[in-house]
């Protein structure tokens, strides 16, 4: 058969190959050409889920419970369908916050809590150590079987001395050395190990190939295919029970609870978190891995039942069914196949141990030891120049320590349990993380208090109902602890707690521990609101997009040199310089010793440190160099003030736009007015043209008559010439008036101001128009008081107004019966002049119109307008110029009264004028 030398040589050759792959992977990563950046490698690395428990243990469990081993793989398959939501979110959060382990994740979520991170670490270590022991047991047993076959009945470890005399101890230490070389060669801020992942993916291929090779050999080499094996098994009464569910396979409750626990385990086992979250290159790989990984699980399980049944048929015994994968090829003399199977089992075990111990050592270092060491002032760690050596030493020590613990568990308790049962103990332990994580990424109200107490309660329940009984079964505790309960109290029997019976130990533990866990988590979270730190972290974790808001609320001073120094102490000076240079190149901000760090740089350094030593420790370290001023009330107020300034600014803008709107409305109105004026001007021009054309036309018509008829008699000729002269005068008058009006309107008229006696002016006007009155036989009466004060005006202009009013009055009076009255009234400070007639009057609607240019009240009798239509417009302008007003009072058929007032000359001026006039 095989000698120990060959087996050891083959093992070392295999490990050497792993190293080569890891080395190549790291080289490629350094060169920027990653070989693991694709979903296939990612899915294969996830298959670290399949350990030696899968490789050897599935067959062992199937030998006693048939299909009962499958929930361990069906759970992850179902969970993979939810990765799209759950795992993707965890990966994104972890990338944004540089989370490096599951302890870091939970601690960070609940306000960067040291206590919580430390607790998760303790639970993970305690919970996973049995699992590591399982791997050691598998390697050791498989080695023994391979070496001693067929004398495999003697358990090897019974007689072996502890530690140095025991092969398993050497295996453990070899694995430790291997892990240290793989995982802690240097310290990296991202905590990613590309070479390691490549090696793990390779191991997943090896174990799958080895297992399928054995399966094919057993199924088709030893037997005649699947149907043959199953039919032979069905013929054996003892094996028939394995082909159905119920009875030996356990009930549906066990089935469901195992599915549930493994659903949680595939997310929250430290090694799964490490490969799925921390080592993830690109979150997009998740979607393809979500079906590739279950496919891998399916493939590695297809041959479990044939191998189991084949082994049971061949050996006629379920003893050592764990090792059928090796013993079946050996029984057929297939030594090389057995060696391949051994290498497959070795790869399953080493893959698990390496990743698990790296994940655990990171947690022990970052979340358990460093926070404690940094706080122990006597160690003066904060002042040490280079801490990267210390960090590496702690991690290496942690790896060795964890493997020694695993070895001790194996040595002391390994015999009592089959492989699968040990693994399930670990599954139940890590299931305790589920409420804190799942709740933490979907429920903002979850608090540190709730998470801490929930974890503690769940963990204690797990210890009491599963771990302590496993110790009792191993003989560490009196066995009566199981049968009679703690202190002999029946209700406290650990596996029938409070009298609950009818459940297997796993289901029993899952029920009680998660009940206590979720109960405390939810219950205590509802007791009070989360604090400020918890709330800000909760927002970061629950709301999907990571924001830079964290740096917004930072007030402090630090020089870039101090920060670089701090980073250098943990990462090594060179890596620190590289990281800062990369940041400065990326952000476009200068870096160097003299620069004062801004909030963004401090935040960046803190996140870099978080990658190396965990977020909670990073906060402590950054705080040690940064003169951080806690946010005070007035600073909060300032921030609020800034916000309100922004508000005020926007209000200003709103106001401006209102003003603009108003201005544009005014402009629009002005424009409309301009258009109206333009239209009026056009009207005016066309009216003037019309008014000018009328006399021109008649002048021309009569001139042509005279021209064409030289034989016209003299009276006729005279009459026509008279018309022509009259029309020419009218034309001249019209043009004069137009010129006059435009002069007045444009302010270019010449005014000769003097003290005017209105009584004289009225008398002059009456004299000037007396011929009109006589012609039309209209009576005129003037009521003029003897003494009136003077007004300051242009006498000619006022005369013009009076003549206009008088001639208008005559014009509208009936021939013979017409009466016109002129009245001068002395009023306080002003004189009023009225010109009344008993003509047809002016309707109310016409009254405003008659003062406009070319608008005349129609003669209701003849419907013929006389005059130019400009007189009243000019009169009103003249009176207005002297500070008076001109208006009309009239009713239809009751005559009309035109009146104007003019202010009297100020008395002093009058007196002065008299004084000057007196000597003359």
Partner 1 sequence: MGGLTGQRLIALFLLGCLLLNYPLFSLFAGPGEVFGIPLLYAYVFVVWALLIALMAFVVERRSD
Structural contact between residues 123 and 432, judged by C-beta atoms closer than 8 angstroms: yes
Nearest distance in Å: CB 450, partner 1:
27
Nearest distance in Å: CB 542, partner 1:
16
> For the window 253-292, what string marks contact with partner 1 as x by the rule CB under 8 A?
--xx--x---------------------------xx-xx-
Strand 830-837 versus strand 819-827 pairing type: antiparallel
Q: Can you name the residues that pair with 782 across neighbouring β-strands?
A: 822
Nearest distance in Å: CB 15, partner 1:
33
303-339 CB burial, b ≥16 within 10 A, e <16: bbbbbbbbbbbbbeebebbbbbbbbbbbbeebeebbb
Nearest distance in Å: CB 83, partner 1:
8
- Rounded Cα gap, residues 840 and 863, in angstroms: 12
Counting contacts by CB under 8 A, is residue 751 touching partner 1?
Answer: no
**Alpha-helix runs per DSSP H in 777-813:** 795-812
Interface stretch with partner 1, choices 84-92, 146-154, 272-280, 567-575 (CB under 8 A): 84-92
Counting contacts by CB under 8 A, is residue 655 touching partner 1?
Answer: no
Strand 779-783 versus strand 819-827 pairing type: parallel
> For the window 286-315, what string marks contact with partner 1 as x by the rule CB under 8 A?
-xx-xx--xx--x---x--x----------
- Rounded Cα gap, residues 416 and 424, in angstroms: 14
**Closer CB to partner 1, residue 292 or residue 418?**
292
Interface stretch with partner 1, choices 81-89, 205-213, 377-385, 488-496 (CB under 8 A): 81-89
Q: Which residues contact 246 (CB under 8 A, 6 or more apart)?
A: none
Pick one of 16, 155, 246, 478: the residue that binds partner 1 (CB under 8 A): 246
- Listed as own residue / partner, the contacts of 87-92 with beta carbons closer than 8 Å and 24 or more positions apart are 87/267, 87/276, 87/277, 87/286, 88/283, 88/286, 89/441, 89/544, 90/267, 90/277, 90/437, 90/441, 91/276, 91/277, 91/280, 91/283, 91/286, 92/283, 92/544, 92/546
3 state DSSP class of 216: helix
Pick one of 78, 115, 160, 735: the residue that binds partner 1 (CB under 8 A): 78
Counting contacts by CB under 8 A, is residue 38 touching partner 1?
Answer: no
Question: What residue has token string 């003066």?
Answer: 380
Find the binding residues for partner 1 in span 125-154 (CB under 8 A). none
Strand 819-827 versus strand 885-890 pairing type: unpaired
Give one word for 246, left, alpha or beta, with left for phi > 0 and alpha for psi -120 to 50. Answer: left
Nearest distance in Å: CB 277, partner 1:
18
Q: Which residues contact 443 (CB under 8 A, 6 or more apart)?
A: 525, 542
Pick one of 77, 141, 495, 617: the residue that binds partner 1 (CB under 8 A): 77
Counting contacts by CB under 8 A, is residue 398 touching partner 1?
Answer: no
Counting contacts by CB under 8 A, is residue 243 touching partner 1?
Answer: yes
Evaluate the CA torsion angle 374, 377, 379, 381 in order and state its sign: positive
Nearest distance in Å: CB 349, partner 1:
26
Pick one of 19, 226, 554, 887: the residue that binds partner 1 (CB under 8 A): 226
**Closer CB to partner 1, residue 180 or residue 249?**
249
- Rounded Cα gap, residues 680 and 674, in angstroms: 10
Nearest distance in Å: CB 329, partner 1:
23
Nearest distance in Å: CB 249, partner 1:
8
Counting contacts by CB under 8 A, is residue 381 touching partner 1?
Answer: no
Size of the site for partner 1 (CB under 8 A): 36
Counting contacts by CB under 8 A, is residue 84 touching partner 1?
Answer: yes
Instruction: Print the SS3 string covering 643-676.
Output: HHHHHHHHHHHHHHHHHHHHHHHHHHHHHHHHHH
Nearest distance in Å: CB 386, partner 1:
44
**Closer CB to partner 1, residue 84 or residue 649?**
84
Find the binding residues for partner 1 in span 788-807 (CB under 8 A). none
Pick one of 8, 30, 38, 244: the residue that binds partner 1 (CB under 8 A): 244
Tokens at 71, concatenated:
């929930």
891-910 CB burial, b ≥16 within 10 A, e <16: eeeebbbbbbbbebbeeeee
- Rounded Cα gap, residues 723 and 746, in angstroms: 34
Interface stretch with partner 1, choices 245-253, 375-383, 756-764, 879-887 (CB under 8 A): 245-253
CA distances from 718 to 682, 697, 715 (A): 39, 19, 5
Structural contact between residues 48 and 346, judged by C-beta atoms closer than 8 angstroms: no
Counting contacts by CB under 8 A, is residue 40 touching partner 1?
Answer: no
Pick one of 163, 230, 684, 854: the residue that binds partner 1 (CB under 8 A): 230
Nearest distance in Å: CB 77, partner 1:
6
- Rounded Cα gap, residues 706 and 683, in angstroms: 35
Counting contacts by CB under 8 A, is residue 504 touching partner 1?
Answer: no
Pick one of 228, 504, 846, 889: the residue that binds partner 1 (CB under 8 A): 228
Structural contact between residues 133 and 375, judged by C-beta atoms closer than 8 angstroms: no
- Rounded Cα gap, residues 158 and 180, in angstroms: 30
Interface stretch with partner 1, choices 71-79, 179-187, 439-447, 898-906 (CB under 8 A): 71-79
**Closer CB to partner 1, residue 179 or residue 219?**
219
Interface stretch with partner 1, choices 82-90, 138-146, 698-706, 812-820 (CB under 8 A): 82-90
Interface stretch with partner 1, choices 225-233, 353-361, 678-686, 860-868 (CB under 8 A): 225-233
**Closer CB to partner 1, residue 93 or residue 463?**
93
Find the binding residues for partner 1 in span 544-563 (CB under 8 A). none
Counting contacts by CB under 8 A, is residue 235 touching partner 1?
Answer: no
CA distances from 264 to 259, 286, 432, 669 (A): 9, 17, 9, 75
Measuring CA to CA, which residue among 345, 360, 402 is closest to residue 138?
Answer: 345
Counting contacts by CB under 8 A, is residue 234 touching partner 1?
Answer: yes
Nearest distance in Å: CB 184, partner 1:
36
Find the binding residues for partner 1 in span 88-107 (CB under 8 A). 88
Q: Can you name the residues that pair with 627 across neighbouring β-strands?
A: 557
Pick one of 41, 59, 80, 738: the residue that binds partner 1 (CB under 8 A): 80
Nearest distance in Å: CB 289, partner 1:
9
Counting contacts by CB under 8 A, is residue 216 touching partner 1?
Answer: no
Counting contacts by CB under 8 A, is residue 85 touching partner 1?
Answer: yes
103-135 CB burial, b ≥16 within 10 A, e <16: bbbbbbbbbbbbebbbbbbbbbbbbbbbbbbbb
Q: Which residues bind partner 1 (CB under 8 A)?
A: 66-67, 70, 74, 77-78, 80-82, 84-85, 88, 226-228, 230-231, 234, 240, 243-246, 252, 255-256, 259, 287-288, 290-291, 294-295, 298, 302, 305
């Amino acid at each position: 058969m095989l000698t120990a030398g060959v087996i050891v040589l083959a093992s070392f050759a295999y490990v050497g190959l792993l190293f080569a792959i890891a080395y190549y992977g790291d080289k490629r990563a350094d060169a920027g050409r990653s070989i693991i950046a694709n979903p296939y490698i990612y899915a294969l690395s996830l298959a670290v889920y399949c350990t030696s428990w899968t490789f050897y243990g599935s067959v062992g469990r199937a030998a006693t419970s048939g299909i009962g081993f499958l929930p361990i793989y069906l759970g992850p398959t179902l969970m993979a369908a939810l990765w799209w939501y759950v795992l993707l979110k965890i990966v994104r959060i972890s990338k944004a916050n540089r989370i490096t382990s599951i302890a870091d994740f939970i601690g960070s979520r609940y306000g960067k809590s040291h206590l919580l991170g430390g607790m998760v670490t303790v639970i993970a270590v305690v919970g996973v150590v049995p699992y590591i022991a399982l791997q050691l047991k598998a390697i050791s047993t498989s080695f023994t079987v391979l070496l001693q076959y067929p004398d495999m009945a003697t358990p090897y470890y019974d007689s072996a001395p502890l530690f140095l005399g025991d092969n398993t101890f050497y295996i453990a230490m070899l694995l430790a050395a291997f892990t240290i070389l793989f995982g802690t060669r240097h310290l990296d801020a991202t905590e990613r190990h590309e070479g390691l992942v490549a090696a793990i993916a390779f191991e997943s291929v090896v174990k799958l190939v080895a297992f399928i090779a054995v399966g094919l050999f057993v199924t088709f080499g030893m037997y005649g295919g699947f149907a043959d094996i199953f039919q032979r098994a069905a013929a054996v009464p003892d094996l028939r029970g394995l082909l159905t569910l119920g009875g030996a396979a356990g009930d549906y409750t066990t089935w469901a609870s195992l599915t549930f626990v493994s659903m949680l385990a595939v997310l929250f086992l430290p090694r799964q978190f490490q490969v799925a979250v921390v080592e993830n290159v690109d979150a997009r790989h998740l979607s393809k891995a979500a079906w590739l990984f279950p496919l891998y699980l399916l493939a590695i399980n297809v041959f479990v039942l044939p191998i189991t049944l084949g082994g049971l048929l061949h050996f006629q015994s379920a003893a050592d069914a764990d090792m059928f994968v090796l013993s079946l090829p050996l029984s057929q003399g297939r030594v090389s196949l057995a060696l391949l199977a051994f290498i497959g089992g070795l790869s399953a075990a080493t893959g698990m141990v390496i990743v698990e111990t790296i994940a655990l050592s990171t947690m022990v270092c970052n979340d358990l030891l460093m926070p404690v060491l940094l706080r122990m002032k006597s160690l003066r760690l904060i002042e040490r120049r280079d801490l990267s050596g210390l960090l590496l030493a702690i991690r290496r020590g942690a790896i060795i320590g964890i493997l020694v613990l695993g070895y001790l568990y194996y040595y002391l308790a390994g015999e009592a349990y089959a492989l699968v049962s040990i693994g399930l103990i670990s599954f139940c332990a890590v299931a305790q993380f589920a409420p804190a994580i799942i709740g933490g990424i979907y429920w903002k109200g979850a608090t540190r208090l709730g998470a801490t107490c929930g974890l503690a309660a769940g963990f204690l329940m797990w210890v009491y109902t599963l771990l302590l009984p496993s110790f009792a079964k191993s003989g560490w505790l009196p066995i009566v602890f199981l049968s009679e309960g703690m202190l002999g109290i029946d209700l406290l029997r650990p596996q029938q707690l409070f009298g609950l019976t009818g459940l297997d130990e796993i289901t029993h533990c899952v029920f009680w521990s998660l009940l206590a866990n979720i109960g405390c988590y939810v219950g205590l979270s509802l007791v009070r609101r989360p604090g400020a730190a918890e709330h800000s972290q909760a927002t970061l974790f629950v709301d999907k997009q990571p924001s830079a808001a964290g740096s917004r609320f930072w007030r402090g001073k630090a020089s870039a040199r101090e920060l670089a120094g701090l980073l250098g102490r943990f990462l090594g000076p060179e890596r620190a310089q590289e990281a800062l240079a990369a940041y400065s190149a990326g952000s476009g901000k200068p870096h160097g010793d003299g620069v004062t760090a801004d909030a963004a740089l401090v935040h960046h350094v803190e996140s870099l440190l978080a990658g190396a030593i965990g977020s909670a420790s990073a906060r402590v370290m950054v705080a040690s160099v940064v003169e951080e001023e806690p946010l005070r009330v007035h600073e909060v107020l300032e921030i609020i003030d800034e916000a309100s300034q922004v508000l005020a600014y926007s209000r200003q803008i709103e106001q401006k736009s209102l003003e603009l709107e108003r201005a544009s409305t005014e402009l629009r109105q002005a424009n409309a007015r301009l258009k109206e004026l333009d239209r009026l001007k056009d009207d005016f021009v066309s009216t003037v043209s019309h008014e000018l054309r009328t006399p021109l036309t008649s002048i021309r018509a009569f001139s042509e008559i005279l021209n064409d008829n030289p034989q016209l008699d003299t009276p006729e000729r005279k009459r026509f010439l008279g018309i022509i002269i009259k029309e020419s005068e009218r034309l001249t008058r019209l043009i004069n008036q137009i010129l006059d009006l435009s002069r007045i309107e444009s302010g270019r008229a010449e005014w000769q101001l003097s003290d005017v006696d209105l009584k004289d002016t009225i008398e002059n006007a009456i004299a000037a128009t007396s011929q009109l009155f006589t012609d039309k036989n209209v009576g005129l009466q003037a009521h003029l008081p003897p003494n009136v004060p003077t007004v300051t005006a242009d006498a000619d202009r006022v005369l013009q107004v009076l003549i206009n009013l008088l001639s208008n009055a005559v014009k509208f009076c009936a021939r013979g019966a017409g009466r016109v009255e002129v009245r001068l009234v002395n009023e306080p400070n002003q004189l009023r002049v009225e010109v009344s007639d008993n003509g047809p009057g002016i309707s109310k609607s016409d009254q405003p119109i008659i003062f406009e240019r070319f608008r005349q009240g129609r003669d209701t009798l003849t419907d013929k307008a006389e005059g130019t239509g400009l007189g009243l417009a000019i009169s009103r302008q003249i009176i207005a110029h002297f500070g008076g007003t001109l208006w009309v009072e009239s009713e239809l058929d009751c005559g009309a009264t035109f009146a104007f007032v003019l202010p009297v000359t100020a008395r002093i001026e009058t007196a002065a004028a008299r004084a000057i006039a007196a000597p003359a």
